Amino acid sequence: MKRRKWNAKTKATIILDGLRGKPVATICQNYQISQAQYYQWHDHFLANAPKTFAVAQQTDREARLQRENARLKNLVGELTLELKKSDEEVWP
């Protein structure tokens, strides 16, 4: 039998059905998955739940780092031009 691949959205929907109180046996029967598979996804879902709220913090951090990186690149460029200019003045 060909093995099915489940996308993340479908897995989340399945787990959320269970968290909303729908019986696990019914969910598994509807989606034709084993209860062991359901609980594997369930445990993985709960283990990674805190990452959902960390995304915004990570995005803010990444934006701050990108601004800092751009500022430093600009500074390096300016210093390089100054060095080039001073070299040209010394060596006409």
DSSP 8-class letter at 9? H
Domain-embedded: residue 83: yes
- CA–CA distance, 81 with 62 (Å, rounded to integer): 28
pLDDT number for residue 51: 83
pLDDT number for residue 92: 61
Structural domain that includes position 75? 8-90
3 sits in which H/E element: none
Domain-embedded: residue 62: yes
Domain-embedded: residue 3: no
- pTM of the predicted protein model: 0.58
Q: Cα angle at 54 between 52 and 56, to 5 degrees?
A: 95
Residues of the chain with pLDDT under 70: 1, 55-56, 91-92
Residue partners of 28: CB distance under 8 A and separation at least 6: 34, 35, 37, 38
